[in-house]
């Protein structure tokens, strides 16, 4: 496996870089971004926070808008931000170009339905191919955490729940926590996986929580003025699913905040400190 550097910016004493590589899993060329803190230049391996972005995003949104580099530099933590779907010639998109399906909306699942199955294998990409590439090419340790926003919050929680022991902690901003029961999730899961709702359960955080084991500590922030709160996010479903589980779980409603990166920026420091604490304890 090899990857190519396509941009590099000095940032808070470390480096923000974008890489491309040929993804075997997705059958296309993929781009991802890494923030590598100054400690990595001093010969250390550093722990990693994987960040999964939301609908319409690429590897760039979080790196440009979250203000996370400052804290990552202080804590000595790398951040890896993949793209949100396969891209490029031959990769099919929503037939009507909708923002919530197809390009920019891979939903971190392995599609089983045509024409999506050939390329839309984002679950395997995030869980297997990308971490292996990062580990082989960059000075990172085996301590990983995962976080994300909206569709990426769904991805982060779902992937942490399905892979016991892989992550020291998981967090999410405004996650689509019960995709089986909301329009965004129903559209994506129905198209990528087909009509059999039994197949959807493996990608639904609220479903997975009921049977999960070895669940890492979880922190969730949700803005109370998020315009998607009532229809798409419904965090009360997550609270109910967790209620009798005994999990190390906290959901914080943040008064007045919306679904934007201004919300993420306001609380990313607390998420990174939460992850750093659990990464250090490994």
Active site residue 143: no
Residue of 16, 259, 271, 275 with catalytic role: 259
CB of 32 or CB of 257, closer to its own copies: 257
Q: Which stretch binds its own copies (CB under 8 A): 20-28, 62-70, 130-138, 210-218?
A: 62-70
The region of 12-20, 150-158, 163-171, 270-278 touching its own copies under the rule CB under 8 A is 12-20
Query: Binding of its own copies at residue 9 (CB under 8 A)?
Result: yes
Nearer to its own copies, 71 or 133 (CB): 71
Q: How far is the CB of 266 from its own copies (least distance, A)?
A: 5
Burial environment of residue 112 by CB neighbours within 10 A (0 to 12, 13 to 18, 19 or more): middle
Q: Is 259 a catalytic residue?
A: yes
Residue 15 beta carbon to its own copies: minimum distance, rounded to whole angstroms: 9
Q: CA-CA distance, 15 to 37, in Å (whole number)?
A: 7
b/e per residue 263-275 (b: at least 16 CB within 10 A): bbebbbbebbebb
Peptide bond into 115 cis (omega under 30): yes
Task: Note whether 98 binds its own copies by CB under 8 A.
Answer: no
Q: Please identify, using beta-carbon distances, which residue of 12 and 141 lies nearer to its own copies.
A: 12
Cβ atoms 20, 30 nearer than 8 A: yes
213 is an interface residue for its own copies by CB under 8 A? no
263 binds its own copies (CB under 8 A): yes
DSSP 141-158: EEEEEEEEETHHHHHHHH
Structure tokens of 266? 């306001």
Q: In this chain, which of 4, 44, 225, 248 binds its own copies, going by CB under 8 A?
A: 225
User: Would you say the C-alpha torsion 87, 92, 95, 100 has a positive or negative sign?
Assistant: negative
Is 150 an annotated catalytic residue?
A: yes
12 makes contact with its own copies (CB under 8 A): yes
Q: Is 257 a binder of its own copies (CB under 8 A)? A: yes
Interface with its own copies, residue 256, by CB under 8 A? yes
Min dist CB 257 to its own copies, Å, is 5
Radius of gyration of the chain (CA): 17
**Distance of alpha carbon 263 from alpha carbon 42, whole angstroms:** 33
Nearer to its own copies, 70 or 162 (CB): 70
Task: Answer whether 15's CB lies under 8 Å from 112's CB.
Answer: no
Q: What count of Cα atoms within 13 Å lies in the side-chain half-sphere of residue 219?
A: 18
Among 20, 56, 67, 124, binds its own copies (CB under 8 A): 67
Taking each continuous run of H as one helix and of E as one strand, the counts in the chain are 10, 9
How large is the greatest C-alpha to C-alpha distance in the chain, in angstroms? 52
Please give the residue ranges that form the binding site for its own copies (CB under 8 A).
9-13, 16, 64-65, 67, 69-70, 223, 225, 254, 256-258, 260-263, 265-266, 269
Catalytic machinery residues = 150, 226, 259
């Amino acid at each position: 496996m090899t990857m190519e550097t396509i941009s590099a910016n000095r940032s808070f004493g470390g480096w923000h870089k974008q890489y491309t590589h040929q993804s075997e899993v997705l059958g296309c060329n993929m781009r991802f971004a890494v923030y590598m803190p100054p400690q990595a230049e001093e010969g250390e391996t550093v722990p990693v926070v994987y960040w999964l972005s939301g609908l319409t995003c690429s590897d760039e949104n979080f790196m440009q808008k979250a203000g996370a580099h400052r804290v990552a530099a202080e804590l000595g933590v790398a951040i890896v931000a993949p793209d949100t779907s396969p891209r490029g010639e031959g990769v099919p998109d929503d037939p009507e170009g909708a923002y919530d399906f197809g390009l920019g909306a891979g939903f971190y699942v392995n599609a089983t339905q045509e024409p999506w199955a050939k390329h839309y294998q984002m679950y395997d990409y995030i869980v297997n191919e990308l971490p292996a590439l990062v580990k082989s090419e960059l000075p990172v340790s085996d301590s990983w955490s995962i976080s994300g926003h909206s569709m990426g919050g769904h991805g982060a929680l779902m992937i942490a729940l399905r892979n016991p022991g892989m992550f020291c902690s998981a967090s999410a901003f405004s996650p689509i926590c019960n995709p089986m029961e909301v329009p965004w999730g129903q559209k994506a899961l129905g198209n990528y996986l087909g009509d059999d709702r039994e197949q959807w359960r493996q990608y639904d955080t609220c479903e997975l929580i009921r049977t999960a084991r070895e669940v890492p500590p979880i922190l969730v922030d949700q803005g109370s003025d998020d315009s998607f709160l009532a229809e798409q996010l419904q965090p009360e479903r997550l609270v109910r699913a967790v209620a009798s589980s005994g999990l190390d779980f906290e959901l914080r409603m943040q008064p007045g905040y919306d679904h934007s990166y201004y919300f993420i920026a306001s609380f990313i420091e607390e998420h990174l400190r939460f992850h750093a604490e659990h990464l250090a304890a490994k």
